[in-house]
């Protein structure tokens, strides 16, 4: 066996996390058996010599794409190769973080095998990396989940093998000391072990992993942000995100599907600390496999995903529109980034979903520290390009929920901002609408709308200026000027006093 | 008593319970093919990976000076230990005796069994001689080695043995039994105590037959 | 000594601060509480010793291999260094352009041989950890969260770029430079980072791998930076040569 340099403490810590996947009871006899293609006779797993298995290389899934389903009707030896890459990437627009990754992205690649497969795992630690790393796959039965056998110095590679004994959806993560930091820096992903008969066929599958990041600066505070040990220990996350960064699943990264399709999302939670209240606004999960296990639950609104755990959700799309993935521990969604979009196209009933619930919560206090940092960032560069970039971030976090990613709005309810005569006619009016909200009928581009926009007084002046600069210079609009924070301040000062209290 | 790091303790116990799974995956893995040793000539320059290139000076339980290279020409089963250890180390010696017993007649005749102490202060050559007697070991076949701290650190590093003096005269260390081919190149090893010795014995018999 | 003259000569051309610093400094030892304390006591005595002010540079190491052919790239045996030994040098006998960078891609054996040639040795883990606790003004700054975060941020920098020349950081309390921020450093007992759970707690399988009763537990698990060093060291083998792993030497004091 390959564990040449075992590190006891690592073993211990690793083992701790690896434990949670252990089955409470031996599987019933029927489940231990595997049908072989040749004879059709059930053969117990332990009687299958790995050396006789056909060998194949795993096809990995790069988030948000799931790895393809297993179509084999027999076990195989599956070669999985994963390279550890330490690199600086944007965690939010204008914010850099040094990630430690499996495969160069967060989450790491999704691995998919079949029960009974023997997985030959190769872990490669790039020569230019600073740290040793390893991997604990919760799908492994064995001490440390593979961690001790995969402990790898920079510029080296290791190999170990395991048999996938238990069906389910499992987290994997780095378990090198200090474990929390290796996870906090992005080292996790999912491994799915399909039952022999495979999973039910669906039209579309996605791969989403929630996790949180701890930095000295608050959410979206600009610049290079290192890992903050103190905040990690206090579980005071600056970011709670899907797929490794703020906005990974919004804008161009939005998940896309069509009306009528059955969708499955493999949802992981890398942690390192927080349990997710995973929810899809406007949908009800027809089926959930809680904690990634085998017993389905049905008709679920919000499902818990433990740190270091997973869940599988399945639902049929009946209506078109934009559905919002959130951690329904809701401040994380709107103040820390735990928000993603599923855009559904196609014919269907024009149903309005509960977007306004989302708006209210977003109006809660944004952190003063974050505002200060944002303000500082804002002062650094007041070019129209930089202002638009900051405005885009505000737009995607706040406005796109109703006005849609592309500014098209929704017929009759949410007026369009794209190519909008109403928006472009009067910038001062636009400022006042953001500050005071707008209720009642208006006409935009010749169409009638009658909805409610709540006041957004809690957005600081420079953010309102930035987002208006953005919408007035994109989506087919061309103003050519920035909206000034001072003008927002003037308008705010002129507001009737009672409105200033705004929403809580 | 020092407060213990809960991470390392509490969960580990849980893990070990879980480790009792119905299907013993590692058994299959242990069918590792016997490494067919392509033994190079045992004269001339040593192979690049030979641990006999280590230049440390050692003293045996019979107070004879020794260089590791003097073991060249026959297979060697080697482990590191310390004499004051009452738990793991007697077990390591027992494991090595099991190897000695299970070896083919050819291997039995030619193989050297070497024990290197972590603790040169306590395990003097005389003390090592006492151990030889206590464990009823054949001094022709069994060699205890006493060396300086630097030589011990070197040989441990190439055998991938980690060790640390955790208090006066007490060492924490990995338990490894390593088989060296006649040129001092690591062939296979057993990690842990009371493990099956068959894979190592098979490799040993193969080498002994070849050499 | 000859080698030091070479270093100083090179240093003069690039950095006057370098030339001004002594090549080695005396460390006044003391009892200290190690990250992994001994089983029966909290404090371990680190005796007085001397230590190189800077990590050993490529130019110093070149001077060494020129007179010790066994350690030249291409000559070194596999037992003593793996295939990436000194691979960042433009040629086996040239360090052009990287003279004042810390030497990396060196194995533990090579580092030891170098120090031995200077009548020194590699520092022990205790010695390295003892001096690395100092900031600019304090012998032990590890109680200061800001210090820990500062060190941690060094370790969090992505690797892969060009390694800077030595003398990037100001001297710590002892007069040592670059303990953090440039490269990891070999210690003599790198393979002592054996950190076990307490086997006395039950019949766990680890007992078969590590000598019974030998438990080590971290004194302060919040010292993440120290934690990382131990993890790093324990991933090494003596023949490994890494792009970000160098060393500096220590010296016993002449007996008085």
Say whether pLDDT at A8 is over 70. no
**DSSP output for A210-248:** EEEE--SS-TT--EE----HHHHHHT--SEEEETTSTTT
Nearest to A332 by CA among A213, A233, A216: A213
Mean pLDDT computed over C113-128 = 97
Q: How many CB atoms lie within 10 A of CB B39?
A: 17
Q: What is the pLDDT of residue A350?
A: 52
pLDDT (tens digit, 9 = 90+) per residue, A358-371?
A: 333 333 344 444 45
- Predicted TM-score of the model (pTM): 0.70
Which of C40, C109, C191 has the CB atom closest to B167's CB atom?
Answer: C40
**CA distance linking residue B164 with residue C187, whole number of Å:** 13
Q: For residue A11, which of A171, A191, A187, A150 has the smallest C-alpha distance?
A: A150
Span of A206-215, B193-202, C68-77, C160-169 with lowest mean pLDDT? C160-169
Q: What confidence score (pLDDT) does residue A463 get?
A: 87
Backbone angles phi, psi at B60, to 5 degrees: -90, 175
pLDDT at C175: 96
A377 or A289: whose pLDDT is higher? A289
Give the phi and the psi of residue A312 in degrees, each rounded to 5.
-125, 130
Any idea which of A206-210, A275-279, A433-437, A448-452 has the lowest mean pLDDT? A448-452
Mean pLDDT of the region A106-111: 98
What CA–CA distance (Å, rounded) separates A314 from A285?
6
CA distances from A348 to A318, A319, A325, A335 (A): 7, 5, 21, 32
What integer pLDDT is reported at residue A362 of this predicted model?
A: 34
Exposed (0-12), middle (13-18) or buried (19+): which is B210, by Cβ within 10 Å? middle
Q: What average pLDDT does the structure give for chain A?
A: 83
CA distance A378 to A371: 10
Taking the C-alpha atoms of residue C135 and residue C128, their distance in angstroms, rounded to an integer, is 14
Give the confidence band of A290 by pLDDT, cuts at 50, 70, 90.
very high
Give the range among A246-250, A419-423, B111-115, C10-14 with minimum mean pLDDT: C10-14
CA distance A260 to C58: 66
- The pLDDT value recorded for residue C220 is 61
Task: Output the CA–CA distances (angstroms, integers) from residue A297 to A174, A300, A311, A468, in the order listed.
Answer: 30, 7, 11, 44
Residues of C in contact with A153 (CB under 8 A): 232, 235-237, 240, 242
**With an 8 Å Cβ cutoff, is B20 touching chain A?**
no
Report helix, strand or coil for C171.
coil
- Whether A14 shows a pLDDT value over 50: the answer reads no
> Which pLDDT belongs to residue B210?
67
Nearest chain A CA: its distance from C6 CA (Å) = 30
Write down which chains contact chain C via at least 3 CB pairs under 8 A: A, B
**What is the average pLDDT score of chain B?**
81
Instruction: Supply A319's token pair.
Output: 């209506």
- What is the tens place of the pLDDT at every residue in A115-145? 999 999 999 999 989 999 999 999 999 888 8
Query: A195-251: per-residue pLDDT in tens?
Result: 999 999 999 999 999 999 999 999 988 888 999 988 999 999 999 999 999 999 988
Cα B185 from Cα B203, distance rounded (Å) = 13
Q: What's the pLDDT score for residue C123?
A: 98
Return the SS3 of A496. coil
Percent of chain A having pLDDT more than 70? Answer: 83
C2-10: long-range contacts at Cβ-Cβ below 8 A with a sequence spacing of 24 or more? C2/C63, C3/C60, C3/C63, C3/C64, C3/C118, C6/C59, C6/C60, C6/C63, C7/C57, C7/C59, C7/C60, C10/C57, C10/C59, C10/C99, C10/C100
Provide the terminal-to-terminal Cα distance of chain C, rounded to the nearest Å: 22
Q: Picking from A270-274, B120-124, C200-204, C246-250, which range would have the lowest pLDDT averaged per residue? A: C200-204
- pLDDT for res C212: 33
Q: Is the pLDDT score of B39 beyond 50? A: yes
Cβ distance C79 to B49 less than 8 Å, yes or no, reads yes
Torsions phi, psi for A120 (to 5 deg): -100, 110
d(CA A247, CA A339): 7
pLDDT band at C60 (very low <50, low <70, confident <90, very high): very high
SS3 content of chain A, % helix, strand, coil (to 5): 25, 30, 40
Q: Residue A88: its chain C contacts at CB < 8 A?
A: 158
Closest-CA residue of chain A to B22? A26
Q: Which of B152, B164, B175 to mutate to test the interface with C (most CBs of C within 10 A)?
A: B164
Confidence of residue A7 (pLDDT cuts 50, 70, 90): very low
- Give Cβ neighbours of residue A207 (< 8 Å, ≥ 6 apart): A61, A63, A64, A65, A66, A67, A107, A110, A190, A265, A266
Please answer yes or no on whether C238 and B158 come within 8 Å at the CB atom: yes
Is the Cβ pair C156, A176 closer than 8 Å? no
């Amino acid at each position: 066996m390959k564990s040449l340099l075992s590190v006891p403490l690592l073993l211990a810590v690793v083992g701790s996390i690896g434990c949670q996947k252990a089955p409470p009871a031996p599987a019933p006899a029927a489940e231990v058996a595997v049908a072989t293609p040749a004879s059709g006779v059930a053969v117990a797993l332990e009687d299958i010599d790995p050396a006789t298995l056909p060998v194949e290389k795993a096809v990995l899934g790069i988030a948000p794409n799931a790895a393809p389903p297993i179509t084999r009707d027999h076990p195989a030896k599956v070669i999985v190769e994963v390279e550890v890459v330490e690199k600086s990437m944007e965690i939010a627009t204008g914010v850099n973080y040094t990630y430690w990754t499996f495969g160069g992205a967060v989450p790491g690649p999704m691995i998919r095998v079949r029960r009974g497969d023997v997985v030959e795992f190769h872990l490669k630690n790039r020569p230019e990396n600073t740290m040793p790393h390893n991997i604990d796959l919760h799908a492994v039965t064995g001490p440390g989940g593979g961690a001790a056998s995969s402990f790898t110095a920079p510029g080296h590679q290791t190999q170990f093998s395991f048999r996938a004994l238990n069906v389910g959806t499992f987290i994997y993560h780095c378990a090198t000391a200090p474990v929390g930091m290796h996870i906090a820096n992005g080292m996790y992903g999912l491994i799915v072990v399909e039952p022999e008969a495979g999973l039910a066929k669906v039209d579309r599958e996605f791969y989403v992993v929630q996790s949180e990041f701890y930095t000295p600066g608050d959410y979206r505070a600009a610049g290079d942000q290192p890992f903050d040990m103190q905040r990690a220990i206090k579980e005071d996350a600056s970011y709670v995100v899907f797929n490794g960064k703020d906005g990974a699943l919004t804008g161009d990264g939005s998940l896309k599907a069509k009306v009528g399709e059955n969708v499955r999302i493999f949802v992981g939670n890398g942690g390192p600390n927080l349990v997710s209240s995973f929810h899809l606004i406007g949908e009800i999960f027809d089926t959930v496999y809680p904690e990634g296990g085998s017993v389905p639950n049905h008709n679920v609104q919000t499902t818990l995903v433990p740190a270091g755990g997973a869940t599988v959700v399945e639902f049929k799309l009946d209506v078109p529109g934009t559905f919002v993935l959130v951690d329904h521990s809701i401040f994380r969604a709107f103040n820390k980034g735990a928000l993603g979009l599923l855009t559904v196209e196609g014919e269907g009933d024009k149903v309005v979903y509960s977007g306004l619930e989302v708006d209210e919560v977003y109006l809660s206090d944004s952190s003063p520290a974050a505002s200060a940092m944002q303000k500082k960032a804002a002062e650094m560069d007041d070019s129209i390009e930089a202002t638009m970039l900051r405005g885009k971030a505000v737009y995607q976090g706040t406005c796109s929920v109703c006005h849609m990613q592309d500014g098209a709005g929704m017929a009759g309810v949410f007026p369009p901002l794209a190519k909008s005569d109403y928006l472009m006619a009067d910038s001062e009016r636009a400022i006042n609408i953001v500050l005071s909200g707008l209720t009642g009928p208006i006409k935009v581009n010749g169409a009638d709308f009658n909805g409610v926009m709540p006041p957004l007084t809690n957005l600081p002046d420079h953010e309102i200026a930035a987002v208006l600069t953005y919408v007035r210079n994109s989506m087919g609009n061309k103003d050519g000027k920035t909206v000034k924070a001072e003008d927002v301040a003037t308008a705010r000062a002129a507001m009737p006093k009672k409105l200033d209290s705004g929403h809580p | 008593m020092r407060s213990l790091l809960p991470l390392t303790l509490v969960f580990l116990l849980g893990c070990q319970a879980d480790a009792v799974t119905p299907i013993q995956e590692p058994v299959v893995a242990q069918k590792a093919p016997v490494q067919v040793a392509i033994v190079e000539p045992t004269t001339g320059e040593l192979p690049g990976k030979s641990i006999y290139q280590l230049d440390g000076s050692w003293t045996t339980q019979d107070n004879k000076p020794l260089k590791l290279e003097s073991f060249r020409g026959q297979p060697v089963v080697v482990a590191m230990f310390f004499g004051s250890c009452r738990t793991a180390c007697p077990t390591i010696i027992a494991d090595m005796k099991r190897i000695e017993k299970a070896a083919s007649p050819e291997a039995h005749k030619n193989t050297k069994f070497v024990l290197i102490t972590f603790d040169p202060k306590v395990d003097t050559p005389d003390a090592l001689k006492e151990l030889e007697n206590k464990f009823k070991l054949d001094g022709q076949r069994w060699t205890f080695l006493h060396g300086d701290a630097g030589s011990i650190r070197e040989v441990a590093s190439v055998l991938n043995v980690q060790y640390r003096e955790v208090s006066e005269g007490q060492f924490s260390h990995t338990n490894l039994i390593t088989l060296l081919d006649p040129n001092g190149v690591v062939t296979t090893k057993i990690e842990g105590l009371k493990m099956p010795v068959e894979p190592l014995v098979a490799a040993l018999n193969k080498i002994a037959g070849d050499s | 000594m000859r080698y030091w003259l070479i270093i100083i000569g090179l240093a003069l051309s690039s950095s006057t601060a370098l030339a001004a610093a002594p090549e080695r400094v005396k460390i006044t030892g003391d009892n200290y509480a190690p990250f992994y304390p001994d089983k029966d006591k909290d404090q371990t005595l680190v005796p007085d010793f001397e230590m190189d002010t800077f990590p050993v540079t490529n130019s110093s190491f070149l001077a060494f291999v020129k007179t010790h052919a066994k350690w030249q790239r291409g000559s070194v045996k596999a037992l003593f260094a793996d295939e990436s030994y000194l691979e960042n040098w433009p040629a086996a006998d040239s360090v052009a352009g990287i003279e004042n960078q810390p030497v990396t891609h060196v194995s533990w054996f090579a580092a030891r041989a170098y120090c031995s040639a200077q009548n020194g040795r590699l520092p022990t883990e205790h010695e390295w950890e003892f001096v690395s606790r100092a900031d600019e003004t304090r012998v032990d700054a590890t109680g200061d969260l800001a210090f820990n975060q500062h060190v941690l941020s060094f370790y969090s920098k992505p690797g892969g770029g060009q390694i800077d020349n030595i003398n990037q950081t100001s001297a710590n309390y002892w007069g040592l430079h670059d303990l953090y921020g440039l490269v990891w450093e070999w210690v003599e007992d790198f393979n002592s980072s054996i950190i076990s759970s307490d086997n006395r707690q039950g019949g766990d399988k680890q007992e078969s791998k590590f000598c019974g009763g030998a438990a080590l537990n971290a004194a302060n698990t919040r010292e993440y930076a120290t934690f990382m060093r131990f993890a790093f060291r324990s991933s090494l083998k003596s023949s490994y040569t890494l792009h970000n792993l160098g060393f500096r030497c220590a010296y016993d004091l002449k007996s008085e």
